[in-house]
Amino acid sequence: MRFEPEEIGEVLEMLLFRELDIRAVTLSVNTLPAVRPRIEDLLTALEEVLTPYLKRLRPAVERVATRLGVRIVTVRLAVSPVSILLEPLGDRDAAVEIAKHMDGLAEKYGVDMVGGFSAFVHVGASRGDRALMDALPEALNSTARVAGFLNVASTMTGVNLDSVKKAAELVMAMKPHAAARFAVTANLPEDVPFMPGAYHGLGLPDAVVNIAVSGPGVVEAVVRNLPEADVRTLHDAVKRAAFKITRLGELVGREVARELGVPFGSVDLSVAPSPKVGDSVAAILEAMGLPRVGAPGTIFALALFTDAVKKGGAMAASTIGGLSGAFIPVSEDAVMARAAAEGSLTFDTLKAMASVCNTGIDMVGIPGDASPDAVAALIADVMALAVHLDKPLGVRLVPVPGAKPGDVYELGGLYGSVAVVDASSYSRIPLVSRGGTAPPGVERLKKG
């Protein structure tokens, strides 16, 4: 097979100068064989289930990265929802122990994050769910690599306001670095490779490899090279770039799965940003012709981008999975963070953006003394969008003690700098205290 120098040059430019890399290889493992009625036995069994995979995971990823010459930024593990392991125990202290044990295993085997410290409570909470929820702040505050979520809404069952309110209380009890590893979600798919949404879904086999791609810099360069193009031409160019980016994820997924001897799951085609310059989704929107992300036109631009990424990426992956849309985490995207710090991105703008992407409100700082009512109501708004638009969305807020709107809190690494935004001028919102589950909408009825 021969390649034109231009074709080779294009790929080299993406890899060398446009920050094209693979965001994450996420190995998803069924940990339900470790269910035991005693915590000591459970921890031993959990280690027995995970160790054969963990021993091989990082070496396999490094072999593939070396062979291909492609950067793979993070190596992650997803486990079955820990709430299920807790059903026989029903004990919050046991939940904290499980989190610490998984944290230790991840560190020992060079795994950057472990996802699945999670529960599905979109209709109500069971014994294991309650133990997990009670443990969440301490479990995440006292670990560095464990991530989790509470799924509090679904198209099929509606929005559970009791779970929303509980989730808001839990977030407010977390330190910033812990809150960055926790999301409140709706309609979470079973094969998300991104954190904190990753867990091993109930429909999956013993283990699968899922891939998260990156590469906003590639798309930004394409858009900047087309200053005069109409939006249809722009859409087509973004689609072509998304194809190539996702294709790299497909290649890495196949190779890592082969190395590990486990099935290849899916590629999440979302083009994930990072706080690095030249790795921003918001910069793509601004390159399309916005003075700042958040300005009028933002929703139009984001919808155009999301649609093009989906259409290009879908063709490139043998199967798509996870969230597969567009990510606009505020702190993890330097241009989003700047707009939030300047005040051009508010919660209202982010909610509107959530209607045309798959993120929701992600990685936004709030004052540590923000009203729990306001936080719960904000989460409820995003959950309602998810249920009535029938798609996955999440809320990941970072309470910063002593901070005021406009302050910036440095989390570092892939998390970036968190801009603190005013949660609400209203401190009491009695609606959230009504509790109960809002019924599913007509999207549910369409499904029969």
Partner 1 sequence: MVSVLGADRVGIVAGIAGVLARHNVNIVDISQTVVRDIFSMIMVVDISKADVDIGQLRRELEEEGRRLGVLVGVYHIDVFRYMQRI
Task: Give residues in contact with partner 1 (CB under 8 A).
Answer: 1-3, 5, 7-12, 14-16, 66-70, 244, 247-248, 250-251, 315
Nearer to partner 1, 35 or 238 (CB): 238
Least gap, CB of 247 to partner 1 (angstroms): 5
CB neighbour burial string for 368-387, b if at least 16 within 10 angstroms, e if fewer: bebbbbbbbbbbbbbbbbbb
d(CA 56, CA 110): 11
Nearer to partner 1, 15 or 79 (CB): 15
Least gap, CB of 217 to partner 1 (angstroms): 15
Least gap, CB of 15 to partner 1 (angstroms): 7
CB 321 within 8 A of CB 266: yes
- Verify cis geometry, omega within 30 degrees of 0, for the bond prior to 196: yes
Nearer to partner 1, 12 or 431 (CB): 12
Nearer to partner 1, 130 or 244 (CB): 244
| Phi, psi torsion values for 327, nearest 5 degrees | -105, 130
Least gap, CB of 70 to partner 1 (angstroms): 6
Nearer to partner 1, 70 or 299 (CB): 70
Least gap, CB of 3 to partner 1 (angstroms): 5
Least gap, CB of 14 to partner 1 (angstroms): 8
Least gap, CB of 260 to partner 1 (angstroms): 18
Nearer to partner 1, 51 or 66 (CB): 66
Nearer to partner 1, 9 or 413 (CB): 9
